[in-house]
Amino acid sequence: MVQIDHPLIAITAYVEPARWSLWDVEAALVPQMFVEAVQAAGGIALLVPPDAAFSERAAERLIDSVDGLLLTGGPDVDASLYGAEPAAEHEGSRIERDESEMALIKATIEADKPLLAVCRGMQLLNVVCGGNLVQDVPGFHRPNPGSFEGSEHEVRLSEGSLAATVAGGTKHVGMQHHHQGIDRVGEGLEVTGWAVGDDLPEAVEMADRRFVLGVQWHPEADPDSPVIQAFVEACSVEAV
Ligand SMILES: [Mn+2]
């Protein structure tokens, strides 16, 4: 076992309109909360925007060069990727980002490097594994669009799971901001967390990988959450 000092963490970036200073342009961006959480845990945060080259084997080279992949939140996964028509509640997608991140997910699983998939990231992980999504879920999963204020709900985690180990117990209260969720679970994934209230999947993992974890809640928005710390620690251990 080799210990890595300051592991390199690839963080998937959004491409969205953004404003700062005098500018109002399309930008590749990541909420600073993700960057700070990774840095606070001792990782080096690398922002990775969508790139069509990832579908042509460049994803393997990128994942070879880093110690772990962190999938951020973002827009709805394009419904065509799980064989559905967009429902009326579908809020718009960025298929080029979906396809780019799907290639990165596959490369990370193949290399058995740590993967933490947050919110939309967890949904995309499920789609990569052949699952599909519920296109609109009850409002308590996103009580306050555009804010994490007062957004917590309780999640039940299965005993002995990676999710429970990482979260520090089988009861977890996570910051919430999603309007879609997992429907049919993808192959190779196990649901290990459920929303108290409607049993919607809130955590998934892969038993035959070192650390592949999807969480529907937002650990980056919760300074007390141990999840990103645990992920970065997993990235600090090189498999031999
Ligand atoms: Mn939820």
Q: How many domains does the chain have?
A: 1
Instruction: Say yes or no to pLDDT of 240 above 70.
Output: no
**In whole numbers, what is the pLDDT of the chain averaged over residues?**
96
* 132 Cα to the center of ligand 1, angstroms: 17
- Specify the pLDDT at position 238: 85
Q: Kindly report, residue by residue over 56-70, the tens digit of the pLDDT.
A: 889 999 999 999 999
And the tokens for 108? 């990370």
pLDDT cut 90: percent of the chain above it: 95
CB 240 within 8 A of CB 4: no
* 196 Cα to the center of ligand 1, angstroms: 9
DSSP 12: E
- Specify the pLDDT at position 2: 85
Instruction: Cite the DSSP H helix spans in the chain.
Output: 32-40, 58-65, 95-111, 120-128, 162-167, 227-235
* 92 Cα to the center of ligand 1, angstroms: 20
Q: Quick check: is 238 catalytic?
A: no
Q: Quick check: is 235 catalytic?
A: no
H or E segment to which residue 174 belongs: strand 171-174
Task: Report which of 110, 44, 45, 124 is spatially closest to residue 79, judged by C-alpha positions.
Answer: 124
Per the structure, the complete domain to which residue 102 belongs is given by 2-238
Of 101, 153, 218, 235, the active-site residue reads: 218
Helix/strand/coil for 53: helix
Q: Quick check: is 129 catalytic?
A: no
Q: Kindly report, residue by residue over 105-126, the tens digit of the pLDDT.
A: 999 999 999 999 999 999 999 9
CATH of residue 113:
3.40.50.880
Confidence of residue 180 (pLDDT cuts 50, 70, 90): very high
- Specify the pLDDT at position 25: 98
Of 119, 141, 153, 178, the active-site residue reads: 119
* 184 Cα to the center of ligand 1, angstroms: 16
What's the whole-model pTM score? 0.97
Q: Once rounded to an integer, what is the mean pLDDT over residues 134-146? A: 93
- Specify the pLDDT at position 113: 97
